[in-house]
């Protein structure tokens, strides 16, 4: 993702609100989506019915993007709304809270100078190891992250929640066909982990697709907290042998500070937000779709690695 596209991804200028049905850009639209989702996006099970006071027992309103990431509120009062959905209280405690904390810790690493990374070590129970590696495309040293699986699990829950808010449908079992890509170079742990060049190539391809979707004004998403939270996604149907789901969702997610983080680490014109892909047997109703002729991706390949 170039800096120019990063600026485009931050805002929602020019939205055709009269013709777009899968873009949440107002507090009312977010409230309507929250009330329409009658299942917990963290587990997929139904929420309990409303009682006589229009409340649900053992249910909490949950910030899909954690409060700790929101920073200063927008100047305009009508823009001070986050992405919130109702979830089971036990699901928030078991599936979300700790993973959000891990993501916050990872962001905090990049507040330190790069030369101090080697001495950071492990953060509490998060085996996150900063290292210095060699960029596969440029003969320069770049900061890398290893031990990121718990963080990626947490960000994947963000993506699930954002998609549920947009489409108001459960995603189903997508974990085996999903890939979350960091805004900075990263690699997997041990044998079977994701090599650095594979991670970077997947990120570049994903952002190429997102640029095409934005240029064609063919995307679904949410812009909240004055545009500081900006989620966009688009669908593409690939040829498949029947073993992999045919519908691939490409997405990009800006949260406060992520583009500054990426720029600080990459130190070149490759700044990008969180991005990635996941795959389903069927795309949601009324979703935005790119056709094969819209971009040069081979139909016999699995773009950006729905693994």
Higher-confidence position of 9 and 78: 78
Percent of the chain with pLDDT over 70: 69
Q: Give pLDDT, residue 273.
A: 95
Average pLDDT score over residue span 287-307: 63
Higher-confidence position of 116 and 135: 116
Does the pLDDT at position 96 exceed 80? yes
Give residue-wise pLDDT tens across range 152-161. 888 999 999 9
| Bridging pattern class, strands 129-134 and 141-146 | antiparallel
Does the pLDDT at position 15 exceed 50? no
Average pLDDT score over residue span 134-152: 62
Average pLDDT score over residue span 78-107: 87
Q: How confident is the model at residue 58 (pLDDT cuts 50, 70, 90)?
A: confident
Name the region of 124 (left: φ>0; alpha: ψ -120 to 50; beta: rest): left
Higher-confidence position of 59 and 139: 59
Most confident of 80-84, 100-104, 262-266: 80-84
* DSSP type of residue 194: P
Q: Give pLDDT, residue 262.
A: 85
Distance in angstroms (rounded) separating the CA atoms of residues 208 and 222: 20
Q: Which token pair is 63?
A: 């910030």
Q: What are phi and psi of 228, to 5 degrees?
A: -70, -30
Q: Which of 153, 107, 145, 111 is nearest to 128 (CA)?
A: 145
Distance in angstroms (rounded) separating the CA atoms of residues 166 and 89: 22
User: String of b and e for 16-33 (b: at least 16 CB within 10 Å)?
Assistant: eeeeeebbbbeeebbeeb
Q: How confident is the model at residue 4 (pLDDT cuts 50, 70, 90)?
A: very low
| Stretch among 43-47, 79-83, 241-245 having the lowest mean pLDDT | 241-245
Residue keyed to tokens 């391809």: 205
Percent of the chain with pLDDT over 90: 40
Q: How confident is the model at residue 102 (pLDDT cuts 50, 70, 90)?
A: confident
Average pLDDT score over residue span 69-77: 89
User: Where do the domains of the chain lie?
Assistant: 3-294
Torsion of CA 111, 112, 115, 117, to 10 degrees: -90
Distance in angstroms (rounded) separating the CA atoms of residues 266 and 249: 25
Mean pLDDT, the chain, whole residue set: 78
Q: Give pLDDT, residue 236.
A: 93
Average pLDDT score over residue span 51-72: 82
- Classify residue 227 by burial, with Cβ atoms within 10 Å: 0-12, 13-18, 19+: middle
Q: Give pLDDT, residue 191.
A: 44
| Bridging pattern class, strands 274-280 and 247-254 | antiparallel
Q: Which token pair is 207?
A: 């952002």
Give residue-wise pLDDT tens across range 200-240. 889 999 999 999 999 999 999 999 999 999 999 999 998 87
Distance in angstroms (rounded) separating the CA atoms of residues 200 and 123: 25
Distance in angstroms (rounded) separating the CA atoms of residues 187 and 126: 16
User: String of b and e for 252-267 (b: at least 16 CB within 10 Å)?
Assistant: bbbbbebbebbbebbe
Global pTM?
0.82
Q: Which token pair is 19?
A: 């013709």
Average pLDDT score over residue span 96-103: 81
Cα 188 off chain centre by: 18
Distance in angstroms (rounded) separating the CA atoms of residues 106 and 291: 36
Torsion of CA 215, 219, 221, 226, to 10 degrees: 20
Does the pLDDT at position 49 exceed 70? yes
Q: How confident is the model at residue 146 (pLDDT cuts 50, 70, 90)?
A: low
What is the 3 state secondary structure string of 206-265? HHHHHHHHHHCCCCEEEEEHHHCEEEEEEEEECCCCCCCCCEEEEEEEECCCHHHHHHHH
């Amino acid at each position: 993702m170039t800096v120019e596209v990063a600026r485009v991804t931050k805002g929602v200028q020019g939205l055709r609100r009269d013709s777009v049905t899968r873009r949440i850009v107002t507090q009312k639209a977010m409230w309507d989506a929250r009330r329409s989702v009658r299942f917990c996006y963290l587990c997929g099970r139904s929420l309990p019915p409303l009682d006589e006071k229009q409340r649900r027992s053992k249910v909490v309103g949950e910030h899909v993007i954690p409060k700790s990431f929101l920073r200063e509120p927008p100047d305009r009062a009508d823009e001070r709304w986050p992405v919130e959905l109702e979830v089971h209280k036990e699901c928030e405690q078991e599936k979300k809270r700790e993973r959000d904390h891990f993501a916050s810790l990872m962001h905090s690493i990049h507040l330190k100078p790069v030369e101090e990374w080697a001495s950071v070590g492990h953060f509490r129970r998060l085996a996150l190891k900063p290292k210095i590696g060699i960029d596969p495309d440029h003969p320069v040293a770049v900061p890398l992250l290893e031990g990121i699986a718990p963080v990626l699990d947490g960000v994947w829950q963000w993506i699930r929640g954002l998609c549920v808010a947009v489409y108001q449908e459960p995603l189903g079992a997508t974990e085996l066909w999903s890939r979350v890509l960091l805004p900075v170079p990263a690699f997997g742990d041990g044998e079977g982990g994701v090599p650095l060049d594979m991670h970077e190539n997947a990120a570049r391809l994903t952002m190429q697709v997102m640029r095409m979707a934005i240029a064609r004004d063919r995307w679904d998403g949410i812009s909240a907290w004055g545009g500081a939270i900006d989620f966009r996604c688009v669908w593409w149907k690939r040829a498949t042998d029947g073993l992999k789901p045919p519908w691939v969702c490409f997405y990009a997610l800006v949260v406060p500070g992520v583009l500054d983080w990426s720029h600080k680490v990459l130190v070149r014109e490759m700044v990008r937000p969180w991005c990635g892909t996941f795959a389903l047997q069927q795309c949601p109703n009324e979703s935005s779709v790119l056709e094969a002729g819209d971009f040069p991706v081979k139909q016999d390949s699995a773009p950006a690695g729905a693994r």
